[in-house]
Amino acid sequence: MQSTLNIVKLEEDTMASITIRNLDDDIKRRLRIRAAEHGRSMEEEACDILWHVVTEPAAPRNLAASIRSRVAPFGGVEIDLPPRDPMRDPPRFAGKLA
């Protein structure tokens, strides 16, 4: 059975309200447990989860830039590349083509 969760948050003279329909019962149960573990209501817990998700900086889209940003604080990384040999000739085909 699907559930509905209504969230109302009051903050500095502003009021926002959201209704989440078709919320899976298991998700609602897990939210209730998580809220209890943090000593707050389901609404407060859902607002906190949403706040953290939307305010997190977006992950870099460029893999090289992401790796560079992780190693830059350590002064970068120097990699010793092995010497390269000339490319060998491809194997010859000894059979007949159909």
Q: Note the pLDDT tens digit of each residue in 9-27.
A: 555 556 678 888 898 999 9
Show the domain range for 52: 2-57
Is 33 within 8 Å of 22 (Cβ atoms)? no
> Is there a domain that residue 64 lies in?
no
Kindly state the tokens that stand for 16: 């926002």
Q: Note the pLDDT tens digit of each residue in 27-78.
A: 999 999 999 999 999 999 999 999 888 888 876 678 888 888 888 888 877 7
Residue 43 has what DSSP assignment?
H
Q: How many domains does the chain have?
A: 1
> Is there a domain that residue 81 lies in?
no
Which residues in 83-93 are b (16+ Cβ under 10 Å) and which e? eeeeeeeeeee
> Is there a domain that residue 76 lies in?
no
> Is there a domain that residue 24 lies in?
yes
User: Which residues pair with residue 5 across a beta bridge?
Assistant: 20
> Is there a domain that residue 80 lies in?
no
Residue 75 has what DSSP assignment?
T
> Is there a domain that residue 44 lies in?
yes
Q: Which of 51, 37, 43 is nearest to 20 (CA)?
A: 43
